[in-house]
Chain A
Amino acid sequence: MGEKIIQLKGITKQFPGVLANDNIDLDIESGEIHAIIGENGAGKSTLMKILYGLNEPTSGEILFKGKPIKINNPTKAIELGIGMVHQHFMLVPSFTVAENIVLGIEPRKNKVFMDFKKAVDITEELSETYGLKVDPHLKVESVSVGIQQRIEILKALYKGADILILDEPTAVLTPQETEELFKVIRRLVEELGKTVIIITHKLQEVLSLSDRVSVMRQGKMIGTIDTKDANEQMLAEMMVGKEVLFDELEKKPISNKEILRVENIKTRDNRGLPALKGIDFNIKSGEVLGVAGVEGNGQSELVELLTGLREMEGGSLYINGEKVEPKSPKHMRDLGIAHVPEDRLSTGLSAEATITENMMMGLQYKEEYAKKKIHLDKEKIRNRTKKLIEDFDVRTPSQDVHLGNLSGGNMQKVVIAREFAFNTPILIISQPTRGVDIGAIEFIHSQIIEKRNEGCAILLVSAELDEIFRLSDRIITVYEGEITGEFKNGEITKSEIGLYMTGKHKSNVGRGV
């Protein structure tokens, strides 16, 4: 660790109605791994965007190597040697790895034509220097998420980044890929003298990777400490401002009553390729079945099939022992399935509508809230919404706020409140805490277990293994549309399960439970 390469002084960023950054001071030392943690909406991303020139601060100044400097746009940031890898990758899927890496600063032949061969050479050289293995000829659409992230990092390094900002880099990775990424980060810092700033939610990662950690809460900088002096409990408290207990959740015994059963079900994905190649499982009343897998191995299609959003192409589905042909989402809802979808903004909500309008979806067909299923009882609907907002701790000035103005965690609470309030015997939950802060995660987890204890049969799909292990009674792993393993929770460790998720191990328990 060395000199202070970047100093942020009194950075304030005012968005309309939101003070995203409030008088923030932060020093980044050259050659360190600096973690920035905080709940959603704490202002981490805004701060980093200011550093990368995507946002302009309302007031405050940035010192680079001790000199005040203005970073008005990313080009300026790149000139200074600051690179950023965004949470959502910005790659062209139909281009090759090499083409993506040189995009923007392409090597040219005769000043006009792109030199593809040179691009490949550059990629190989970068790959060698930084120890990030990639195949320059592959198209990006055909490589895994982990590799895509490497490409993003190489892209930044190709542009000459000495300071690398990584925004939630592990959100989409398997445990193995995460470990791999951490090795790369350590190598970049220790052997090549780079500086890394990493934004994350995950406290264990912070503790295992970083040198120093800065904690933000509600737009303010709470403090920066050396990681060796920190522990998980302490960081969590700093983040949420109150004591958070990662309690063991109390679980009641599972009943023997089978609620949902699927046999050999099959379906295709949006491109028409087989996405589920014959899957069997069952869920009992009061049981959480966790589905672990790297994203894109059929989980989304499974959820859509069970909720009537995707056509079933074979196999049988039984609810309470009765055979069911899923026809439409309405049909499945009528049969007692509620659904928390993986993507709240595209599927679970309407951003243009108010909270009340979002919360009333489904009520328009219930006699209780709509006389003759036509005349809406607005008063009753409003009162119910008000109660749900309180019960589920949705933080909003009013129920008439347009949903798009809420933070991610509060949006998710709106979805969960609505779906849980239907009191259905079956809950299909997908990525319940994606992009949600720690306080909200804790709340959502306890709500899920409460539902479980009430006797609900729950299918839980999550990319977060911690979540799967915390909530599930049983776990199945999926890989390329097939079940590769089935385990009682406690029978298997996280690293073992990673091997099943990547198809390296396979047991035949999946078929014919």
Chain B
Amino acid sequence: MKRSLFKDNLKYLTSVFLSIVAALIIGALIMVANGRSPGVGYMALLNGAFGSKYNLANTFAKTVPLILTGLATAISFESGIFNIGGEGQLYLGAFAAAYIGFTFPSLPKGVGIILAILFAAAIGGLYALIPAILKIKYKIDEVITTIMLNSVAVLLTDYLVNYPFAGTGQGKMGATEMIADKYQFTRLVRLSTLNTSIFFMLGISIVMYYIMKKTSWGYDFKMTGQNERFAKYGGVKTKKQMIIAMVISGALCGIAGAFEVLGIHYRFLQNISPGYAFDGMLVAMIVKNSPLGILIMSIFFGGLKTGSISMENATSIPSELVLVIQSIIILFLAGETGFKKKIKEMMLKRKKSEKAVKDSAKSAF
């Protein structure tokens, strides 16, 4: 009964797979052009991503911000309101968590962590609320406002950590005070950055999956995104739904920021994120906002990220190659429909010319 759904997905999965293969081949060609062996390069990459307990742990550590921001993208894009401001929300969330961490060192352990996460979520959500309201009330395009608000958030936190909340003791290096010990998530594998935030992240992912796939809310989000007029006609409060989606999206990014602070850096740093929210967005776009897909694709992207460093160390192939590969995947997927059409046309033409040849052969006799 669910065959056609499965078939649709299978087709798309094939496209994703082929895009990845094609991108890896192009990556290999680039290595060859530079006189490196792609075999050696990719082995180093694979090894660096999944080769040892330590590497594996680092790969999984990278999935935490990717999955959270990926889910944030998914819920907003599904609802037809486009949050491109995840990076800004992540920065503010991270700062908010750090603020709780160094301001209330005496709170009991569990309470402190929960408070820090909730505060980060609230700040991220509120920050996303601004463009949502601007869109609903004044029809100002949220894509533009959210992108611009990224800069506002990054620069604001720059200011905060350099002036009012500059840490003492380490000189002025663009960081806040350390958070209290009891706020710090436990590391799971020695020397790696993998920490217990991954369990929180998994819990949040399950909740998001449930909301998006199993509830009235998820249905309302989806219908609003697919055809807002239809949703409204059917009784969905589409404006409310879009605002909620945006706030949830912002909150998830805020939490992603909090985990960077509580799990990895133990304080807020200037440039704390190298663009996690944008990577998360790519992940969500590649898998068309499927929560399960985000989980799997994030492991692949996380692997590329950790593997690229090892590859650079082992073979002196620059880690930036991975960025090229990522971009090419997106490029191929963006051209998916176009490519499909071209291939189909080519196949049709070939069939026709074959037939023409056969026909002429027949008439020749």
Contacts and interface: CB of A to CB of B under 8 A. Distances in A.
A389 to B, nearest CB: 12
Interface stretch (A37-45, A124-132, A393-401, A484-492): A393-401
B5 interface: yes
Contacts of B216: 364-365, 370, 373-376
A333 B231 CA distance: 13
A508 interface: no
A339 B3 contact: no
A286 interface: no
A402 interface: yes
Contacts of A333: 235
SS class, residues of chain B in contact with chain A: helix
Contacts of B220: 364
B226 to A, nearest CB: 4
B229 A357 contact: no
Interface residues of A, number: 36
A302 to B, nearest CB: 15
Given A353-B223, A361-B223, A309 B5 contact: no
A23 B214 CA distance: 47
A376 B230 contact: no
A364 B219 contact: yes
Interface in B213-243: 214-217, 219-220, 222-223, 226-227, 229-237
B230 A361 contact: yes
A346 interface: yes
A368 interface: no
B106 interface: no
Nearest to A378: B214
Contact of B217 (A360, A374, A402): A374
Contact of B226 (A330, A353, A365): A353
A362 interface: yes
Contacts of B236: 330, 361
A376 B4 contact: no
Contacts of B219: 357, 360, 364, 376
A350 B4 contact: no
A394 to B, nearest CB: 15
B229 A346 contact: yes
A333 B237 CA distance: 13
A349 interface: yes
A265 B4 CA distance: 47
B1 interface: yes
Given A346-B229, A364-B216, A399-B1, 10 more contacts: A341-B233, A350-B226, A357-B223, A361-B236, A364-B219, A375-B215, A378-B214, A400-B1, A400-B2, A400-B5
Question: Sorted from nearest, which 3 A-B pairs have the closest CB atoms?
Answer: A364-B216, A361-B234, A330-B235
22 contacts: A307-B233, A328-B232, A328-B237, A329-B232, A329-B233, A329-B235, A333-B235, A334-B235, A347-B229, A347-B230, A347-B233, A353-B222, A357-B219, A361-B235, A370-B215, A374-B217, A397-B4, A398-B1, A398-B4, A399-B1, A400-B2, A402-B4
Interface of B: 1-5, 8, 214-217, 219-220, 222-223, 226-227, 229-237
Interface of A: 307, 309, 328-330, 333-334, 339, 341, 346-354, 357, 360-362, 364-365, 370, 373-376, 378, 397-402
